[in-house]
Amino acid sequence: MPTNGPTSSDVVAGQRDPESLPYAMVRITPQIENVLASFAPQLAGGIQGPPPKDIRFGIGDVVSVTIFEAAAGGLFIPVEAGVRPGNYITLPNQNVDTDGNISVPYAGAIRAKNRTPTEVQRSIVDALKNRAIEPQAVVALIEQRTSLISVLGEVNSPNRFPANAAGEHVLDAITRAGGPKGQGFDTWVMLERDGKRTTVPFGQLVYEPKSNIYAHPGDTIYVYREPQTFVAFGASGAQGQFNFEAWRISLAEAVAKAGGLNDSSADPASVFVYRGELPEVAAKLGVDVSKYSGPIIPVVYNINFRDPAGYFLATRFQLRNKDVLYASNAASVEDAKVMQQIRLVTATVNDPIVAAYNATLLRNSIKLAP
């Protein structure tokens, strides 16, 4: 029979078909929605979100070193300098060399790469303590050429800038780059750190502070535009691809965007959302993940709009980018299609017989005419 998609019984039977792509079916309940909410995409997914550690020196950074002695007449401060307000000497600014060291007179090469100012100061003091008079050192970062954060893509001022020693969040870094160019609901943020990547909608950073994690030195933040969409098929008021036009929408809003359910054909108990889920999410949903292979498990969610409570569930169930929404035809509609086909076949068979019978009657009437 001609149809715009599978019936609800086809969807149920399809998950048991060995010749078909295996998928799991999950009925939407409050418990299922709680599980999905706990696994909502986070920018920290797979990436540590605590504040970065202290800024550390890197090759090429410009460093200042000041050495203090307790009294004049020591290694650095001559006796005649005793009237100075402070017994110290400031060395010329220098770069951390390609070996990761800085040079301090009478102390030699001091390791600076991947070390904090406090650690470098301690090494200088240890190297001078037997030669200078109670030496102390102050090491300062004059020009930061490493420990940088890159913000690229659809921002007003793509840039690479030094990490803030006080710590800053991803939104702070995007702000330093001039903010996103486009609408927030069409904008995505990808964070790359230590070879790992994770992506969330820009709006999630704004409305869910726990997603707005700290940026770390060496991070690359890529901002890009891609409208979030879902596709609607079946017995909905309209079929096609629809933009979210918001950073997220509920299932109830998605059904409304697609023109609602067609009241002459839709089965309100058979509305489905097709989505791929990670195995760990599927396992929490009660799916036997041992039956599936691959990094993504196809899941078909079912909601019953014939149940008045289904509308409350639909307002909590959040659609995700690229979801497929399908509303199945009611069984009575399919039965009506069958009856229509039967009537067409009967008419096709009967029409020649009726025509022949009428022709016979016409011939007989002609023969009987005087």
Cα 59 from Cα 115, distance rounded (Å): 11
In terms of Cα–Cα distance, which of 124, 212, 104, 108 is closest to 167?
A: 212
Do the beta carbons of residue 50 and residue 44 sit within 8 Å? no
Q: Which two tokens stand for residue 352?
A: 């020649």
Residue 191 in tokens: 């964070």
Cα(224)–Cα(181) distance, integer angstroms: 9
- What residues have CB less than 8 Å from 328, skipping those under 6 apart? 5, 6, 7, 8, 11, 234, 235, 266, 267, 270, 271, 272
Q: Do residues 132 and 201 touch, judged by C-beta distance below 8 A?
A: no
DSSP three-state, residue 237: coil
Q: What's the Cα-to-Cα distance from 328 to each of 6, 24, 169, rounded to whole Å?
A: 7, 18, 45
Q: Provide the token pair at 281.
A: 């999410």
**How many beta carbons lie within 10 A of that of residue 96, not counting itself?**
24
DSSP conformational letter for 81: G
Report residue 1 as tokens.
């029979």
Which pLDDT score is estimated for 359? 59
Backbone angles phi, psi at 7, to 5 degrees: -80, 170
With CA atoms as reference, report the closest residue to 112 among 147, 153, 149.
Answer: 147
Please state the domain extents for the chain.
8-39+228-330, 62-143, 148-225
Residue type, 212: N
User: Would 8-39+228-330 and 148-225 be classified into the same CATH topology?
Assistant: yes
Contact (CB, 8 A) for 4 and 327? no
Helices (H), 50-149: 117-128
Q: What is the CATH number of domain 148-225?
A: 3.10.560.10
Which of 199, 197, 192 has its CA nearest to residue 219?
192
Distance (Å, rounded) from C-alpha 191 to C-alpha 92?
38
Q: Can you tell me the distance from the alpha carbon of 167 to that of 156, in angstroms, rounded to the nearest whole number?
A: 22
- Domain 62-143 CATH (choose: 3.30.930, 3.30.1950, 1.10.10, 1.20.120): 3.30.1950
The strand pairing partners of 197, in sequence order, are: 192
Query: Tens-of-pLDDT digits for all 370 residues of the chain?
Result: 556 678 888 888 877 777 778 999 999 999 999 999 988 877 665 566 678 888 899 999 999 999 999 888 888 877 765 555 668 899 999 999 999 999 999 999 999 999 999 999 999 999 999 999 999 999 999 999 998 999 999 999 999 999 988 889 999 999 999 999 988 999 999 999 989 999 999 999 999 888 899 999 999 999 999 999 999 999 999 999 999 999 899 999 999 999 999 988 899 999 999 999 999 999 999 999 998 988 999 999 999 999 999 999 999 999 999 999 999 998 655 444 444 555 555 555 556 665 665 656 556 666 655 5
Q: Can you tell me the distance from the alpha carbon of 314 to that of 181, in angstroms, rounded to the nearest whole number?
A: 33
The CATH superfamily of 8-39+228-330 is: Outer membrane lipoprotein wza domain like (3.10.560.10)
Cβ proximity of 202 and 223 under 8 Å: yes
User: Other CB atoms closer than 10 Å to residue 43's CB: what's the count?
Assistant: 24
> Residue 264: which residues within 8 A CB-CB, separation 6 or more?
333
Give the model's pLDDT for residue 53: 80
Tell me which DSSP letter residue 167 carries.
-
